[in-house]
Amino acid sequence: MTGSLLTECKNLIDGEWCSSSNGKNSDVINPATGENIARIPYSSKEDVHSAIDAARKAFDDGGWRKSPVSERSAILMRLADLIEHDRDRLARLETINTGKSIKQSSNYDLPYLVDNIRFLAGAARNIEGKAMGEYVDEGTSAIRREPIGVVGVITPWNYPLMMVVWRAVPALLMGNTVVLKPASYTPLTTLEFGKLAQIAGIPRGVLNIITGPGPEIGEEMARNSQVDMIAFTGSEEVGRKLSSYGSASLKKISLELGGKAPFVVFKDARLPAAVEGAVVGGLVNNGQDCANSTRYYIHEDMVDEFESKLIEKLKEVKIGNPLDHGTDMGPLISSAHRKRVEDYIKLGMEEGGLLKHGGFEPKIEGCEGGFFISPTVIRTENEESRIVKEEIFGPVYTILSFTDYDDAIRRCNDVIYGLGASVWTSDMNKALHAVRDLRFGTVWVNEHVVVPSEMPWAGYKHSGHGASLSSYSLEEFTNIKHVYFDVSGAVRKKWYYQVFGSER
């Protein structure tokens, strides 16, 4: 199906493309067919050390760190141009490696992440802080934003290239050097990013990429005292482990973790808009988006109508070969992940849910080995069911009814996650109350999933801390330094009486 030869990939360490030092490799699979499409280095601890040493040296040498931000920005702008120029090739590669539809890769992911880079590269030149000023009567103070040092970036498989942009690009722009580890399922566009970054002019050692087993490489990066910060996007479980590995060296750990987004439809909502929004909110990225709507709280007077209209629309969604432009939805990332989603569906029914739609593995011609699953709708009134509380990360709609505003908001907030939530209503006062009361990093009103480059993407509670996109993501990769200039010129300053001399 791919028509591509098996690709042999290498690590990028100190500007050189190299195999793993132990000679081991692992396979990369196309989730739409189950075919091997590439071999990647199964890197060892020595490789991690080499990558960290290269990043440390590049940081300590100071060329990148001390370069004017305009130069770093220009390099990243060039990289955005190169990615844009290669958009079709990269979109196809992303689709072959993740199973997301080609129309999403080429018309959404690629143009969006190019825009993310351009925004960040521009905003990096416009970082603001307190004005230099006199805060005590004999001195002038200023703030500097400085790079943190060597940043270990660990990314997930659902948006491989976009997550590299969200985490590695702001780190680089602010003068840090980077060791980047992509998810083993989806390293291919990350390695292409490395090639294009070299062409754009990123100096050797400033960006290093290693592939291999997450638990070993990630743990080594988090424990290593030569790494100053970990920027992790992935599951809550691994985020928690990284926090504990990093605690011995007290490094900064920035975490962007899972979600369990509620989708609340009040009685005064425009039902057709809410139904279309639900189809997209639940299925974008084949239902493997941390922002996917998953818990549908629908006012009790309209829950049956919402459910039947949703199912009608879901029947229109075309599941198929993700490389076909007519396909709406491709496979899940792996056979193991599909089993996990299916286990949740079974569990939902054991815990009192009713299967209203889907729940099967569709057979796709030409993609018989793929990990497809149909969009699935479960109706439940068991608020304590694990399908209501835990992240499934698949195209599973859980529909529940609510009685009034307080009931809906309380149940929305009653999960460990706090990434995104949406409310659907034509009453602006109610919307504004919900915006205030929902404990989530993003709240959409009459929409779900949209995040412009200029706005922060950040979690509450177990969805993590820190921010992606916006100028907040640039600040995330800086230390803040206070610089104080004495302006009195005095030998004995007024406050020295505290140590010697008399108080005036």
Instruction: State in angstroms the smallest separation of the CB of 461 from ligand NAD.
Output: 12
Angle at CA of residue 86, ends 82 and 88, nearest 5° = 155
- Which position has the token pair 């925004």? 119
Residue 11 in tokens: 């690590």
Residue of minimal Cβ distance to ligand NAD? 218
- CA-to-CA separations, 280 to 20, 35, 326, 401, 497, in angstroms, rounded: 41, 29, 16, 20, 68
Given the residues 192, 256, 342, 476, select the one marked as catalytic. Answer: 256
Question: Which amino acid is located at 121 in the chain?
Answer: A
Among residues 192 and 256, whose Cβ is nearest to ligand NAD? 256
Provide CB contacts within 8 A for 355, sequence distance 6+: 345, 349, 376, 377, 378
State the pairing for strand pair 150-154/229-233.
parallel
At closest approach, how far in Å is the CB of 15 from ligand NAD?
A: 23
CB of 404 to ligand NAD, least distance (A): 30
Amino acid in position 173: L
> Toward ligand NAD, which CB reaches closer, 147 or 464?
464
Q: Given the structure tokens 């929004």, which residue do they identify?
A: 277
Between CA 383 and CA 202 the distance in angstroms is: 51
Closest CA to 258 of 416, 456, 450: 416
Closer CB to ligand NAD, 109 or 256, in the complex: 256
Distance CA 297, CA 291 (A): 16
Backbone phi and psi for residue 231, each to the nearest 5 degrees, phi listed first: -110, 110
Chain residues in the site for ligand NAD (CB under 6 A): 154-159, 163, 181, 183-184, 214-215, 218-219, 233-235, 238, 241-242, 256-259, 290, 391, 393, 419, 457, 459, 463-464, 468
Q: What is the C-alpha to C-alpha distance for residues 192 and 245, in angstroms, rounded to an integer? A: 30
Is the CA virtual torsion 265, 271, 260, 337 positive or negative? positive
CB of 161 to ligand NAD, least distance (A): 12
Query: CA-based angle 56:62:64, to the nearest 5?
Result: 90
Nearer to ligand NAD, 320 or 418 (CB): 418
Nearer to ligand NAD, 83 or 209 (CB): 209
For residue 313, the minimal CB distance to ligand NAD (Å) is 25
DSSP helix/strand/coil, 424: strand
256 is catalytic: yes
Minimum gap (Å) between residue 153 Cβ and ligand NAD: 9
* Identity of the residue, 2 or 184, whose beta carbon is nearer to ligand NAD in the bound complex: 184
Give the residue with the Cβ less far from ligand NAD, 214 or 369: 214
Smallest distance from ligand NAD to CB 5, Å: 25
Nearest by Cα to 154 from 130, 186, 107: 186
Give catalytic residue positions. 256
